[in-house]
Each structure stands twice: as structure tokens, then as C-alpha cells.
Structure 1
């Protein structure tokens, strides 16, 4: 969702009440967001192709990918998460939800919910019922439950996202500082020497004796957690941690954008779309999702304003009036409006490479072998320009995917028709690169037997 912070209403007690933004100020903010989003798309798309190529070279499979089945469920899952956050952030969320359910649920169920969650005089609250069934030696834990507020949850979420942002920032900057570390004149010692570590948690799929799980085959175990890092990753994270700490204390738009850009590039690089059909289905579903939650309700805008975390890019419109340190009235662009089209454009980058490998042609010129990637970046630029133009015209938040999805989806299809590659583009998939679970393998074997 693209949004511009409206000018404050007239208020004698508000010193910034009469502030208005000139066209130059608004254009500067929009162009800055425009440039940052394009940086994420191009950088992330190139990294995504390199990431998949490295896996192929090492004969490894992509562990997680968005297939057609996941793309079909994604808008519904996102809607449930978004609406849950809305209920959480809404000041009277509990009362509002109960009022909504009382209209749509049977009377006896609605009455029971009201008595449980909103107890009146003489009735027992949910916390009192929980206290009654809690053992005496564990009741001291209940003393801390009432003190956990929405603010505590929000701060925990902020700390978590800042740390993840630092990890993403370290990951995208790794080639730079790794080269610097390797140039240190210290021989083959730390920190020049790079040592790898694997932190994992396995679960056996069948009963086995203690000690057997270590040597068990992949068929008999599954990973609950697997984190692979090296000493250069750790050094990079430590170097980036000050950015996260600074954002925790100041919430400045510069640190917000550093973390947001890192999130976007890292997400585009690592979120893998399995096929063009899956990407088309994902974009189409989120097209409807974005329109509904922005235009039909206030859910999207409420959540975007309620989460004080680096989940969007910002640029101040009052930067010329108040300077880059004190500016506070921002234009905003959600990271979803960058990452979702970005992973689709990254898929087209890999499709370009597949076409080049298939034809065996040598690259000649800046666009040779990169027709779809370059064209869809231009399509994204067009869609984002329309989004910002409409946003400034109507002075209200816009569902960016309303304009980005048609341009990013239709323009490459038109190009494929012109080049006679429509069937090849539509049927392009990378499912042979995906690590499938046992159920998927059995289903594939069963489908192959039916075909034969």
C-alpha cells in the first residue's frame, strides 16, 4: 500500500497545523521512494538469479518455494493475519469484534462469549477461571500476565524486526565486507579465515533409539530448525547491529529505510516462485486482497499506522522545511508492494537466463538475453508512477497492487506474444529445483502412474 501522510488539520495548539507541502517537496519524497523501490527490485532480482544458479552448481534444491497450492492460499492467510493485527491494534478491538460476532453468531454463543471475555458484575472473568485451575506452585506466573500490555508486544515485535533487518543488511552487504576481510594482511587467521557453523534441530519421523537420529537417512528425519552461518556472517551482523539499536532509540526514517531496503532485497533473493503460473496466481490473488482491504475497510491503513516497525519505506515531505534530522511528515510505501512484484520479476530474470542457455546465444548489448527482466522492470516503474500520481491526485492511500499487478503481469505476456514465446513463458516452471516432502513425492508418483 502506498500512502502519503496528510497535512495536519487546523489546530491552534499544533505548531505545525498550517504546514502545507509544495509540489517540489511531494515530488522529492515520491522520487526518493521510487528510486529506493527500483534499487530493491533490480538488486534483489539479480541476487535471486545468482542464488538459484549457486544452488544448481552445488546440486542442491530450493528448500522452500511458493508453488501453485501455496499461491492459492496466500491471500486468505494474509487476510487472516492482517485482520488479527487489526483487532489487536484497534483500541476497542475486543468490544468491536464481539459486537460484530453477535450479529452473525447464534444468540446463546454470542452471550457466552460476552460473559467470558467481557464479564459484568457478579460474573467470572477468563483470568479468574484460569487462576482457579492453576496449581498453587505455579500461580506466581499469573501475576505477570496482566502486566503484559499491547506496548510490550509492540516493543518485542520492533526488537525482533530490527534484529532481522540487521541480519538481512549483513547478508546483502556480505560480498563487500567479505572481500575487505580477505584483503587483511594477517595470513590465514581469524577474521580472514571463514569458519562455517550449522545449528539444527531434528525430529525423527519414526521411533528410534537414542543416538540413531544423527546417522538417520533424510527419509526418516525432518528439520524443525536449520540455521547455517559462518564467522563472516557473525562479523557482518555485529557491524550492522548499531543500525538496529539506533532505530530502536530514535525511529528515524534513515535507519528505517536501511532496514526496509535490506528486508526487501533479502526477501526478493530468497523467496522463490516455482513457476510463472504460481506467480500469476499469487499476483492476481493479492490484487483482490489489496483492493478490498484498502478501499472497502480501514484495516490496511490502521495496521500500517499501528505497527511502529521497519515494514515500509519512508521519506519526509517536510525535509526542506525541517531538515533531514527533524523531518516527520512522511510519504510511505509498503514493503509488500516491492517484494511481491519483486519475486515475480526475479522469476522472469531466471526465465531470461533459461532462454539464453537454451538458445546458446552470446549476450550482445545491454538488453540481450534480458528482455523480460528489463521490460517488467519498466512495467513496474509505470505501475508505481501511476500509483503515486493517483495517490497525490486524490490525497489518500492507494492499493499499489491495483496498478502494479496489471502492468507487471500483462506487459510481459504481451512481449511473449510479440516474440512468439507465450507458451514457453506460461508453462515455465522450476519445480525440478524444489525440495519436495514425502507426501508430494508420493502424489507425483501416483499421478505419473495414472498418466501411464
Structure 2
């Protein structure tokens, strides 16, 4: 995950100065969109998890304690990989050399790094063609007798026929994939409306479901055996379920996808970003309060380090031209909604990460999974809980503090620095006041997670029935 931060353009000598009204409008717009995503996403998450439990289906893609421990490290690796991807080749090696010096790496190793820089960034004087230069470098590592002239010439010709796959092409592919997923998320949100309309139309027929899947056997099998193999001997690499209404919804949303790919307008960006956030909060399942707390604490440190400690987060946020953040123009009053181009931004990670934790609290409020004590004493379930509402207010306060600090210092801020304490400590404080610290801390939906242990339990239950 590459998490972006809330930011506005830095104030420099020749920068545009925005009025308080302009800054307040853009901030309130981002504020409203983020709250909307969290509330709607949490409601849909509760409905989705409850439906899965009622149908006795295991929940896929859950974040358990194990995943929560690895998540910040995995996110850091991805983020740093993107950072190196956007850096020019010579700057990448120079950055590594400077870090090595700061970490007091022995001088001999720093010299080796510098030698690597010279070796791989210098262009050979024997050729100005990049393809031939690369082959000359490779050939210089191998004794000449192993690289005959004819093979060398053929390799140069073959390399020249290959399509160029550089940074721009990779960026276009990444943007398309993100936009397509965003349009698919938007389609899933409007599907209930589409279904209600389509069902009233004649000659449509029934809503036929489809399933595309890729299954792998866990042991060697003969051709045709995998279809009838037991579930313990196979596993799905991917499953994609859809129906005719999904296809119609996606076709209706395709103008948003096409428009954003061509225009990169902030309105289509926000449609995709909001849809992404709501569906992300709905389907990213935290298995327990402990896992959620560990995830928030890990990403709290992750956000602070990559924003304050380095320029990695801001560089990646500016380098990826894809709808991974919400935008609202500060110059909308001056240039109108179509020509405005100076934005305040809020990363989707600052919405989805607290959002999945808040969704967990809503499921706790609605007792999607009841504790043993509540199951034995049904009257206890009549007692109201307000953890979701209180934590939404806490998120609003944390986001307000983030934006206030951002405008005060005119610099990017790690939003999780302010959001995590608000979203984590406020519900714990409420639990302490209500005497429910143990119930909240031990709230666990792990028995509904799709893992090997639960699959065995479900399979044995089906056999007994």
C-alpha cells in the first residue's frame, strides 16, 4: 500500500496566495467526503459481514494479528520501491550512498557503491545508441570469444525491435488498473439502483450469475481430477463472481473511467476515490479489536517516519498520476470548477485505514458476533452502545487537527499522527467509563475468517449435517 498524505502547495515567493474562504472551502469539501466514505463504508461493512455469517460463508481477505504485524513492513517496502522507481537512475545510487554514509557504513563499501554508480550510469563512448550501449556493457562482462560479431549484431537488432517499456508506460498501466478498479467500485455502489430499474424492463430475462476462478491443486493429479477433488486438496488462486447487473452497472460507469484517463479531472478523480474508499472499508475486514489496534499503531509509526523522516511519501504522492487521493481545488472561486488546478489533497489511506477500524466498532455495536456472556444473557443485548458514533466524532476531531496544522505550517502532514490516537484512545476511554474494556478488547470475529483451521471446521460441520 502506498499511503499518501494531506497536503497543499508550499508557500513560496511566487506562489498563489489563497484566502481563508478558499482554503476553508477546499478543506471542508475533503472533510465532508472523508466522513461520508467512513459512515457509508461502515454501514455496508456491517451488512456485508452479517450476510456472510448468516449464509455461513467464511470471510476472505481478513486482516488478522499475523497480517497486522507484517502490514507496515510490507507497505514500507512497496512505498520505497515506488520511490526508487520514480527516481532517476543516478539519483537512486547517490541516495543509497548518502544513506550509507549517515549510517556510518565503512568507507570501502561506500566506494564500491560509488564505483557502481560510475559503472552503470556512464554511457560508453563507443556508441550513442542506448540498446547497443547496454549490450556493449553486457558483452564487456563476458570473454570476447563467447560473443561472436554476428550474435552481437543480431542481439542489437532484436533489442531494437522490442517495444519500449519505461517509466511512462508503467505509469499508464498502473493508472488504468487503478481507474478500472475505481470504476468497478462505483459500479458496485450503483448496482442496487440499476437492478431496481432493470428488473422493471421487459425482455431482459433473469439475472444470470457468472463465476470466473483459477484453482490450484495441492498435490499431483491426473487431468480432469481437479474439478471433483476435495476442498482440502485444492485452493483458489482467485475467484471473480459477477452477474448481468454488474456488467450493466460497469458499462454505465465506463464514461467516468474513460473521462479520467483522458482528462484527469478532479471530479472524476473524486468519484473514483470515494467509491474506492467505501468499497475498501466494506471489504477490508479486521478480524479483531486487537488486530485493529496493532495495525493502527504500526501505521502510526510508518506514516510519521516516511513523511517527517524522509521525502519518500510526498515524492510518491506527487509522482503517481492516479486517483489514490481526494482532491478539491482551492482556486475554484477564481477559475471555476473546470479550469481550477490548485488542489488540497487527502490520501485514501487516511480514510480507509481508520475507516476499517471504525467499521469494526460498528459491528461491535450491532453485535455481529456475540460474546458468550451475551449469548447466555440476551437482555444484555438490549443495552445500547455508541462506540461507532463516538469514534466517528473522534475521527472528525483528528482530521480537523490535521488540516489545522497543515494550514498553519503550510506543509504535508502525516494524518495518522493525529487520527490514530483519536480513533484508538477515545473508544477505549468510553469502554472504561462503561465498564466494557474487556468486552471491547477481546472482541474477535476470527472464527469467521477464511483460513485452514476454519475451513476444516466448516467442512466437518457439513459432513455431520
> Same fold by TM (over 0.5)?
yes
Pairing 1:280-359 to 2, within 5 Å after superposition: 280-354=293-367, 358=374
Q: Which residue of 1 aligns with 2:219?
A: 206
Q: Which residue of 1 aligns with 2:44?
A: 47
Aligned 8 A contact 2:135 2:156 in 1 = no
Q: Which residue of 1 aligns with 2:120?
A: 117
Q: Which residue of 2 aligns with 1:381?
A: 396
Distance in 1 (CA, whole Å) between partners of 2:361 and 2:188 is 23
Question: Are 1:70 and 2:54 counterparts?
Answer: no
Unaligned runs of 5+ in 2: 127-131, 140-146, 458-465
Q: Which residue of 2 aligns with 1:392?
A: 407
Distance in 2 (CA, whole Å) between partners of 1:229 and 1:62 is 17
Distance in 2 (CA, whole Å) between partners of 1:157 and 1:273 is 27
Q: Secondary structure at the match of 1:331?
A: strand
Q: Secondary structure at the match of 1:59?
A: coil
Q: Which residue of 1 aligns with 2:181?
A: 164
Q: Secondary structure at the match of 1:315?
A: strand
Distance in 1 (CA, whole Å) between partners of 2:385 and 2:196 is 28
TM-score (norm 1): 0.87
Q: Deviation per CA, 1:94-130: give whole Å up to 9, x if none.
A: 3334534764483686367446633564899765566
Aligned 8 A contact 1:116 1:125 in 2 = no
Instruction: Measure how far apart 1:435 and its partner are.
Output: 1.2
Q: Which residue of 2 aligns with 1:148?
A: 165
Q: Which residue of 2 aligns with 1:404?
A: 419
Aligned 8 A contact 1:314 1:333 in 2 = yes
Q: Deviation per CA, 1:72-94: give whole Å up to 9, x if none.
A: 11111111111111111123543
Question: Once superposed, what is the RMSD of the aligned Cα atoms?
Answer: 2.9
Aligned with 1:178 (options 195, 198, 219): 195
Distance in 1 (CA, whole Å) between partners of 2:326 and 2:415 is 13
Aligned 8 A contact 2:50 2:368 in 1 = no
Pairing 1:219-258 to 2, within 5 Å after superposition: 219-258=232-271
Q: Which residue of 1 aligns with 2:463?
A: none
Q: Deviation per CA, 1:286-345: give whole Å up to 9, x if none.
A: 001101111111111111011110000000010000000001100000000000000000
Q: How many residues align?
A: 428
Q: Secondary structure at the match of 1:225?
A: strand
Distance in 1 (CA, whole Å) between partners of 2:45 and 2:359 is 6
Instruction: Measure how far apart 1:432 and its partner are.
Output: 0.3
Taking a change above 3 Å as real, the CA distance of residues 144 and 100 of structure 1, as seen in their structure-2 partners, is farther
Distance in 2 (CA, whole Å) between partners of 1:9 and 1:42 is 41
Q: Which residue of 1 aligns with 2:35?
A: 38
Instruction: Measure how far apart 1:171 and its partner are.
Output: 1.1
Q: Which residue of 1 aligns with 2:272?
A: 259
Aligned 8 A contact 1:384 1:403 in 2 = yes
Distance in 1 (CA, whole Å) between partners of 2:421 and 2:178 is 31
Distance in 2 (CA, whole Å) between partners of 1:293 and 1:287 is 10
Taking a change above 3 Å as real, the CA distance of residues 270 and 128 of structure 1, as seen in their structure-2 partners, is farther
Q: Which residue of 1 aligns with 2:460?
A: none
Instruction: Measure how far apart 1:142 and its partner are.
Output: 3.1
Distance in 2 (CA, whole Å) between partners of 1:297 and 1:382 is 27
Q: Which residue of 1 aligns with 2:144?
A: none
Aligned 8 A contact 1:349 1:370 in 2 = no
Taking a change above 3 Å as real, the CA distance of residues 283 and 428 of structure 1, as seen in their structure-2 partners, is same
Distance in 2 (CA, whole Å) between partners of 1:305 and 1:116 is 30
Taking a change above 3 Å as real, the CA distance of residues 363 and 67 of structure 1, as seen in their structure-2 partners, is closer
Q: Deviation per CA, 1:156-206: give whole Å up to 9, x if none.
A: 11111111110011112211211121222x1xx42x521111111111110
TM-score (norm 2): 0.85
Q: Secondary structure at the match of 1:60?
A: coil
Aligned with 1:6 (options 6, 10, 13): 10
